[in-house]
Every structure is written in C-alpha cells, then in structure tokens.
Structure 1
C-alpha cells in the first residue's frame, strides 16, 4: 500500500477511515495490530508532508517579503 504519490488530503481521508474502523463494530484484535502499524506509518507520512508544505509556504512568503 504505497501512499507516496497521494495528496495529503487523500492520506488524511485514508487515516480517518482507519480510525473509523477502530471505533466500529468490525474491530478484531488480531487485525488491529496490523492496522495500527499502517495508521502510524500513514500519520508519519502526513506529518512529513505537512512539514514540507510548511517549508514551501515559508520560502514563498520570504520571496514576497524581499525588497525589489
């Protein structure tokens, strides 16, 4: 399940679905370990993506703040 090329929005939607599964009636302990690891990995990807986007926004803002 590669999520490297998905948008942050798509990754967050996928993570939300995982969280819903944990709160739902289909919860199974054996499957929970695997899903938790997947959710944790996805959350780390989202955090890295957001950090990268934040840096991009800072660079753009700095260019606008530079005197011409």
Structure 2
C-alpha cells in the first residue's frame, strides 16, 4: 500500500522572481514525490494549493514558452 506524501515535511523555497519588498511572492515545496505544493509566502501558515508534479511542469513550461 502506497502512502501519500506528508506536506508537513515540505521544504519551501521562494520564487526567484520574488523581491524583498513585500510584493507578490510564491513559494513551492520540494521533496514531495509526485506533488508540488504552492503557497503565498506572505501567509506561510495559510492554505497551500497542491498540484500533480506533471501538471505543474506543464504549467511552468507554458509560462516560459509565452503561451500563458
């Protein structure tokens, strides 16, 4: 039986596009197989959205490619 990754063990990192001036900041968590949690860095105790890793990869590729 496979168990789900535990998001409480997430190691969060801020987007390289975030600045130190309190602007819009996104953090993602690494190290959780198959999923990518995403949250607002200004509210670290708030909710996080969780995406399947493959879907997150396609989203980021679309951003980089200019199709979004």
Higher helix share: 1
TM-score (normalizing by structure 1)? 0.31
Higher strand share: 2
Larger radius of gyration: 1
